[in-house]
């Protein structure tokens, strides 16, 4: 990990940090689920960029891949199951705005107070040569092979679920809708089923 950041790295971390916070705020400002999903994805990709600048390549790649796949799956489910097409119609994205603002401000205050008042420990020992390998061995230990196989299995499950979910549209999942129309009949507005 980088301990002394150069001028460009400090600038990059600052710019990416501002982008991440701005996109995080946009999640609650935009008026549709699809726009909120892509704003959240942009926020996490900016965080992955910060990790990359800090030379935490593994964490950056994992963050980028996880968030991209998660947002893609969320978009697929929005297209399939939301009443408004693909979550693009305007809707309120904030519920109980006053209560959530009070709770967020309270948690923020507690965390900032804890950061400034806690007696932080002093580092003992030297920084490891390969922090990613040491972290992996500390977390997984002798179960590394099992975790790798499980990861491939989970990825295959995600792909299979997405393929099965997109084989049918939301209007033909029961064969016919409640009006008695057949799956091949056009829906109001002229769109095919």
The reported pLDDT for the residue numbered 176 is 47
Q: Please, what is the Cα angle at 77 between 183 and 49, to 5 degrees?
A: 150
Output the tens digit of pLDDT for each of the chain's 193 residues: 455 667 888 889 999 999 999 999 998 888 778 788 889 999 999 999 999 998 888 888 888 988 888 888 887 777 777 766 656 677 766 678 789 889 989 999 999 999 999 988 887 888 778 877 787 777 777 777 777 788 888 888 888 887 777 655 555 555 544 555 555 555 555 555 4
pLDDT at 86: 59
What's the pLDDT score for residue 193?
47
pTM for the model stands at 0.56
Distance CA 142, CA 144 (A): 6
Roughly what angle, to the nearest 10 degrees, separates helices 144-165 and 131-140? Answer: 90
Residues 6+ away with beta carbon under 8 Å from 90: 31, 32
pLDDT score, position 97: 79
Domain range list for the chain: 6-94, 130-172+181-193
């Amino acid at each position: 990990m980088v301990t002394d950041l150069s001028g460009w790295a400090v600038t990059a971390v600052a710019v990416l940090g501002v982008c991440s916070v701005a996109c995080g705020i946009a999640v609650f400002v935009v008026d549709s689920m699809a726009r909120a999903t892509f704003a959240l994805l942009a926020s996490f990709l900016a965080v992955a960029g910060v990790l990359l600048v800090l030379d935490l390549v593994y964490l950056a790649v994992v963050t980028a891949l996880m968030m991209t796949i998660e947002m893609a799956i969320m978009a697929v489910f929005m297209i399939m199951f939301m009443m408004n097409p693909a979550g693009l119609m305007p809707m309120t994205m904030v519920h109980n705005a006053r209560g959530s603002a009070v709770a967020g401000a309270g948690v923020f205050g507690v965390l900032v107070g804890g950061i400034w008042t806690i007696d932080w420990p002093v580092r003992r020992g030297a920084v490891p040569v390969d922090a990613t390998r040491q972290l992996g061995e500390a977390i997984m230990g002798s179960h590394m092979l099992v975790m790798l196989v499980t990861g491939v299995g989970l990825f295959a499950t995600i792909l299979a679920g997405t393929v099965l979910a997109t084989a049918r549209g939301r209007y033909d999942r029961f064969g016919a809708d409640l009006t008695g129309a057949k799956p091949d009949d056009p829906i109001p507005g002229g769109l095919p089923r």
